[in-house]
């Protein structure tokens, strides 16, 4: 009796673990607008909430990302090599950004990108956190 129960538990865990990456990839498909951007640099943080000039991001199931602002649109590629990372690239495969996915659910997407310090020196930290909401 113990062996079938253990097989069931391990099988259930295995199914849950193998389905998570594809579920995450399916969750990102859709249109997202930027709500705010938090910028951090060496202990100083600032949140920007006036996001009118930020393009809308439309993630497609085929790995294409369409960014639109008013009547203009541009296409890019995206990939999710792991469940917590998102890579955006130009059509000629130049890196636009490697983001860490902090949250992805039906209505919210939060991405963090580490940035290169502006000044030389040790122990510097610079990053940006972008908060998105789904457009229905």
**CB 58, CB 73: distance < 8 Å:** no
Domain limits for position 7: 2-135
pTM: 0.80
Return mean pLDDT, the chain.
86
Element (H, E) at 85: strand 85-89
Q: What is the CATH number of the domain that holds 37?
A: 2.40.128.280
Number of domains in the chain: 1
Decide which of 50 and 56 is more confident: 56
pLDDT (tens digit, 9 = 90+) per residue, 61-106? 999 999 999 899 999 999 999 999 999 999 999 999 999 999 999 9
């Amino acid at each position: 009796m113990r062996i079938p129960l253990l097989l069931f538990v391990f099988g259930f865990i295995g199914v849950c673990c193998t389905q998570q990456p594809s579920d995450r990839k399916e969750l990102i498909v859709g249109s997202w607008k930027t709500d705010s951007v938090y910028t951090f640099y060496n202990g100083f943080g600032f949140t920007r909430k006036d996001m009118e000039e930020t393009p809308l991001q439309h993630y497609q199931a085929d790995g294409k990302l369409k960014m639109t602002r008013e009547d203009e649109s541009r296409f890019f590629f995206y990939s999710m090599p792991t469940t917590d990372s998102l890579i955006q690239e130009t059509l000629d495969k130049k890196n636009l950004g490697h983001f860490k996915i902090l949250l992805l659910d039906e209505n919210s997407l939060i991405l963090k990108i580490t940035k290169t310090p502006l000044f030389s020196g040790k122990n510097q930290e610079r990053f940006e956190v972008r908060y998105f909401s789904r457009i229905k």
